[in-house]
Amino acid sequence: NAGVTQTPKFQVLKTGQSMTLQCAQDMNHEYMSWYRQDPGMGLRLIHYSVGAGITDQGEVPNGYNVSRSTTEDFPLRLLSAAPSQTSVYFCASGILPGEAFFGQGTRLTVV
């Protein structure tokens, strides 16, 4: 069982560069979401999706874009990376309402 797969696991970007964090799930969950984890702040919701073609903003959406063209995939795009986006990013999928299944995370450093 693959569950929720995130790639890459580690990434270093220069300020202003763009990149896409990939997230894929094989559990046929309608609900997917992205969180960032920063020390002392827990996990904060960036964007979420309730199904293919439907996305919405969470607590901290600025600087991030998402799209959901298939049930399986929910990529997170950073269009112009900033040092404030240095964080650990987690993707999760789940059912409504119910537990969320998390990926292993992507550790992003912006220099």
- Residues near another protein (CB under 8 A) are 4, 31, 33, 35, 40-45, 48, 50, 58-59, 90, 92, 94-100, 102-105
The DSSP call for residue 85 is G
Question: How far is Cα 75 from Cα 11, in angstroms, rounded to an integer?
Answer: 15
**CB closer to another protein, 17 vs 52:** 52
In angstroms, what is the minimal distance from the CB of 14 to another protein? 24
* Least distance (Å) between residue 74 CB and another protein: 12
List the structure tokens of 18. Answer: 């763009």
Instruction: Identify which of residues 17 and 107 has a Cβ nearer to another protein in the complex.
Output: 107
How many other C-beta atoms can be found within 10 angstroms of the C-beta atom of residue 35? 23
Q: Cα(71)–Cα(30) distance, rounded to whole angstroms?
A: 6
| CB nearer another protein, residue 35 or residue 64 | 35
**What residue has token string 């890459």?**
8
Query: Closest CB to another protein among 4 and 13?
Result: 4
- In the complex, minimum distance from the CB of residue 68 to another protein, in angstroms, rounded to a whole number: 14
C-alpha distances out from residue 65 to 24, 55, 75, Å: 16, 10, 8
